[in-house]
């Protein structure tokens, strides 16, 4: 037996937004709506965001550009959420949201912290230095 079919009327602007989202995701409108309806709730939606154009896609506090890993780094140094908020000029609620995000996504944030540790960065710089050294002799200035 086929699922029942219903017709829903949407305001034109909402329909246009949904159609645009479906086009961006390269899916049809029905598939996208099904995914949106059945998706798990995102507790940090609008507060902690990931955008490939911002901070390499790392989770940041919306509107700030401050990464969750920055807050976690301060927290691991022993600062209280209030002290972190003061030092980074953030609302303390954002700091608590970042810490909650960290505790719910510890593996992701710890992997990001590890990948950007001082040792890893130094080794990467050493590799780049030996990979393609740039000498003054190879430059031509006109």
- Whole-number pLDDT of residue 139: 47
Q: For residue 70, give the H/E element and its range.
A: helix 68-76
Closest CA to 60 of 34, 95, 85, 25: 95
Which CATH number is correct for 48-117, 3.30.70.20, 1.20.1260.10, 3.30.1520.10, 1.10.10.10?
A: 1.10.10.10
Spatial distance between the Cα atoms of 15 and 57, rounded to a whole number of angstroms: 28
- Whole-number pLDDT of residue 71: 94
- Whole-number pLDDT of residue 23: 87
DSSP state of 136: G
- Whole-number pLDDT of residue 85: 95
The residue extents of the domains of the chain are 10-37, 48-117
Spatial distance between the Cα atoms of 51 and 95, rounded to a whole number of angstroms: 19
Does pTM surpass 0.85?
no
Residues of the chain where predicted confidence (pLDDT) is lower than 70: 1, 40-43, 45, 119-121, 123-124, 127-142
55-67 tens-digit pLDDT: 888 899 888 889 9
- Whole-number pLDDT of residue 67: 92
- Whole-number pLDDT of residue 132: 55
């Amino acid at each position: 037996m086929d699922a029942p079919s219903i017709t829903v009327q949407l305001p034109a602007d909402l329909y246009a937004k949904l159609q645009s989202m479906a086009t961006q995701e390269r899916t049809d409108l029905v598939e996208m709506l099904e995914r949106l309806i059945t998706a798990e709730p995102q507790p940090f939606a609008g507060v902690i965001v990931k955008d490939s154009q911002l901070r390499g896609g790392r989770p940041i506090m919306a509107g700030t550009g401050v990464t969750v890993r920055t807050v976690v780094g301060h927290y691991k140094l022993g600062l209280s959420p209030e002290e972190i908020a003061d030092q980074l000029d953030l609302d303390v609620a954002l700091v608590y949201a970042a810490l909650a995000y960290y505790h719910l996504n510890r593996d992701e944030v710890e992997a990001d912290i590890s990948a950007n540790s001082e040792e890893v960065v130094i080794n990467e710089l050493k590799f780049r230095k030996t990979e393609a050294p740039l000498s003054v002799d190879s430059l031509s200035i006109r």
